[in-house]
Amino acid sequence: MGLLYGLIAVGLALIFGLMDVVNFAHGEFLMIAMYVSFFLFTFFAVDPLLSAPLVAAALFVLGALVYLLVVRFAMRAKANAGMVQIFSTFGLAIVMRGLAQFFFTPDYRSIPHSWAGGKTISVAGIFLPEPQLIGALVAILAFAGLYFFIHRTDFGRALEATREDPGAVALVGIDKNRVFALGWGLGAALVGLAGAIMAVFFYIYPDVGASFALIAYVTVALGGFGSVFGAFAGGIVVGLVEATTALVLPPSLKSVGIYAVYLLVVFIRPRGLFGQM
């Protein structure tokens, strides 16, 4: 679970690290990804584990569109820039939730059976549900891929450069808007991957994103805004804390542990675990 939280959070951290914008529609990206995966399964019988790349591609397009249609304008605001970003992405989240309700109805759906079904695998005496295990593997692969992408490719360098000095990159002919749009696409694609995997073992309904979004924000903040590595590490911490809390407190209180750890960490290190001080 922690690795999946990490995967969701990395997308958020990427967008934040790139341009200081917190995407409050992040949970809704996840929800859409789960629906895409669900419909690919119901109509075309594509297993969620196979459709994951397709879902990621669809989310890439969605992320880039959201940047071009909404966020681009939000970033132009001179006054109250922070509030404009928060509320424009928040408004967007409400719209997306409304659209999901309109087209898909508020019913709970689930993917009845997948290759990764409900099997459990025993690793060194610990029983692990197979879907979660596959999810964890995909998350690690995706993170490795992202790391390689950012540090080893031209586009990755363009991302880094734009992040450091958006003004200067314009001089060397990099289109800031294109880089940002690709960054948003990439961030959304990562959530898409997570969504496709989670569609196998979570109910899918229009508000599903909201419950994960807060954990994603906490995860990113825990790791330190601006640090992609931190987001991934934060995800692992959150997963572990959640599992431990579940042992001590009733299940309905399991997120309290996560929140408490977040508060504790930021009180000691106001910039998160790996954030620049």
Partner 1 sequence: MDKSFAARRRRDLIVAAVLAALAALAPLVVKDVYVQNILILTLMYAALSQSWNILSGYCGQISLGHALYFGIGAYTTELLFTKFGVLPWFGMLAGGVIAAIIAMGLGYPFFRLRGHYFVIATIVIAEIGLLLFQNWEWAGAAMGITIPVRGDSWLKFQFLRSKLPYFYFALALCSLAWFVTWWLEDSKWGFWWRAVKDNPEAAESLGVVVFNSKMGAAAVSAFLVAVGGAFYAQFLAYIDPESVMGFQFSLLMALPAVLGGIGTLWGPVLGAAILIPMTELTRSFIGGSGRGVDLIVYGGLIVLISLALPQGLVSLFSRSKAKGATR
The residue within the footprint of partner 1, chosen from 94, 121, 144, 168 (CB under 8 A), is 94
Is 267 among the residues that bind partner 1 (CB under 8 A)? Answer: yes
H-assigned helices in the chain: 2-19, 26-44, 48-66, 72-74, 81-104, 130-152, 154-164, 166-171, 176-198, 208-223, 228-248, 254-268
Assess contact for 32 and 101: CB atoms under 8 A: no
The residue within the footprint of partner 1, chosen from 41, 67, 212, 217 (CB under 8 A), is 217
Is 252 among the residues that bind partner 1 (CB under 8 A)? Answer: yes
Residues 6+ apart with CB under 8 A from 161: 168, 169, 174
Is 108 among the residues that bind partner 1 (CB under 8 A)? Answer: no
- Closest residue by Cα to residue 146 from 179, 181, 189: 189
Is 91 among the residues that bind partner 1 (CB under 8 A)? Answer: yes
- Closest residue by Cα to residue 59 from 20, 107, 7: 7
**Minimum Å distance from CB 87 to partner 1?**
4
The residue within the footprint of partner 1, chosen from 45, 79, 123, 172 (CB under 8 A), is 79
Is 59 among the residues that bind partner 1 (CB under 8 A)? Answer: no
End-to-end CA distance of the chain: 29
The residue within the footprint of partner 1, chosen from 42, 53, 61, 90 (CB under 8 A), is 90
| φ, ψ (nearest 5 deg) of residue 121 | -120, 140
The sign of the CA dihedral 37, 94, 17, 178 is positive
With contacts defined by CB under 8 A, how many residues of the chain interact with partner 1?
52
Nearer to partner 1, 114 or 227 (CB): 227
Site residues, partner 1 (CB under 8 A): 16, 22, 70, 73-74, 77-84, 86-88, 90-102, 105-106, 206, 210, 214, 217-218, 221, 225, 250, 252-253, 255-256, 259-260, 262-263, 266-267, 270-272
